[in-house]
Amino acid sequence: MAAAQHVAITGASGGLGRALAEHYAAPGWTLSLTGRSAERLGEVADACRRAGAAVDVRVLDVTDAPAMEAWVTSRDEAQAVDILIANAGIGGSDAMPGPLGDTGGAAREIISVNTIGVVNTIAPLLPRLIARRRGRVALVGSISGYMGLPQSPAYCASKAAVWIYGEALRRLALEHGVSVTTIMPGYIDTPMSQSLGIARPWLWTAERAARRIASDIERGVRESVFPWQLRVAIGVGRLVPASITDPILSRSMRQMSARQSRRTRG
């Protein structure tokens, strides 16, 4: 890796966030990590320190805007943040509604964490990066944000909002020397995706995903979308008339509900 830098990552207590933290962990690097599990966050910090990184951890909820602003600004004042990765989010079985759709409470929670949480992470730091005319920002969305799927309406909406927010931020920050990369991954092998209990085509390991994301952030890629097979499938699905795709997706929802029902009974 290049010269020492300061990387701040939300949702770092497991899954992709942990893989990203461990990817960046190296002598001379500073990692500022947040998550909601003190125990798991401590385990990640220990692993990163063994790799030689300086690590600061904080147990935080990204929906707590004042706490997030205090954390981001305090870490930036301690050492200028070079890379900010807004990774925290709700997914997996926690984002899967029943056959009648998301409840209002569940939908609000998903959007609050996945979308407002990203805003709470980035908004306090962006003016500082712009003032310095340097820095990199990454928002972790999902390839599901490109298409509304009946299995997860609120989740798709939350990730679509992340995508368009990243698009707008990139254009806003471009002339100020700050790069913005929106991450739109497919299935990553984490406890979150494992909880779905369904087939996960073109599955990537968290470590492979972290390497790809870090590379795309470093290169200032506009969108980091992977795997390419799922990107093509989604792209084709958006071009096919709704009269064809809607029945197919509706049928897949019924089949998924039936499988989940059988697992529950079993």
Catalytic residues: 155
Placement of tokens 């019924």 in the chain: 254
- C-alpha 25/C-alpha 33 separation (Å) is 11
What is the residue type of 41? L
Structure tokens of 58?
């904080």
Q: Nearest to residue 12, comparing CAs of 23, 1, 27?
A: 23
- C-alpha 151/C-alpha 259 separation (Å) is 13
